Chains A and B, each alone.
Chain A
């Protein structure tokens, strides 16, 4: 996964380009989408709050990995949405999810390696 700054800048650049074509997509709304692009990076909370330690404290298996999946992005985008006025919810959620999915796609280079590895495995057998 690339660094957070890269994810934010990619989302900001694409959002700005989109804003030239979409009337309602002003700078204010582009910023919301850029915030969504940070969601998959929340997985790094593991650096300050070790998942193994949380697991030991709670007595259940525990991992922050879902933050970097589509399911995690949908839920965290929902939490972000709740912080806004009711009138904006649909738009905020759509933009935050779009930003988050952009960052997941940027992280695909890693997934490609795993998929390629799996194909090797099949070929070996």
Chain B
């Protein structure tokens, strides 16, 4: 298998991947049955009574209620979350499933905490970088790049 054939195969796979990237975004609305934040921001009242699944950042915690901000297509909508509480701080990220009520409130049936605070997100990024660096160190101990053929080959035979 020469380098040109490998590059051609890589180009084919990359085009297929690019096709998936475009196809996913072009069809995602049809596969997500809930109103999106930019639709709620544009005309909230027409969606009252509908069920929604909102991914949002916690802007404030007010007693048992949360205030969340959710963004799509560059538009942010702010919603009050009532009916259920979650152990989360301002800056955290939650998924809220529930019914849209008047005055931009969502009556939650379920809240799932993604990050319980803004710091939790940075912690995830931090340990992910540690994981990536650790992997590279371990990988390089086992495999080396042959610069003549531009392939990875096992170290020590």
Contacts and interface: CB of A to CB of B under 8 A. Distances in A.
Interface of A: 3-9, 27-28, 31, 34-35, 38, 41, 44, 47, 51-52, 55, 60-66, 69, 71-72, 75-76, 78-79, 82-86, 110, 113-114, 116-118, 120-121, 124
Nearest to B140: A31
Given A38-B132, A118-B33, A31 B97 contact: no
A1 to B, nearest CB: 9
Given A4-B132, A117-B110, A120-B109, A78 B51 contact: no
A78 B109 CA distance: 42
Contact of B53 (A4, A38, A51, A117): A117
Contact of A31 (B51, B139, B151): B139
Given A66-B17, A72-B17, A84-B151, A8 B134 contact: yes
Say whether chain A's binding surface is mostly helix, strand, loop, or mixed.
Answer: helix
Given A8-B134, A28-B143, A65-B24, A78 B128 contact: no
Interface of B: 1, 6, 9-10, 13-14, 16-17, 20-26, 28, 33, 51, 53, 73-74, 95, 97, 109-110, 112, 124-125, 127-128, 130-132, 134-135, 138-139, 142-143, 149, 151-154
B1 A3 contact: no
B51 A124 contact: yes
A62 B21 CA distance: 5
A113 B95 contact: yes
Given A4-B132, A34-B135, A38-B135, A55 B25 contact: yes
A6 B135 CA distance: 12
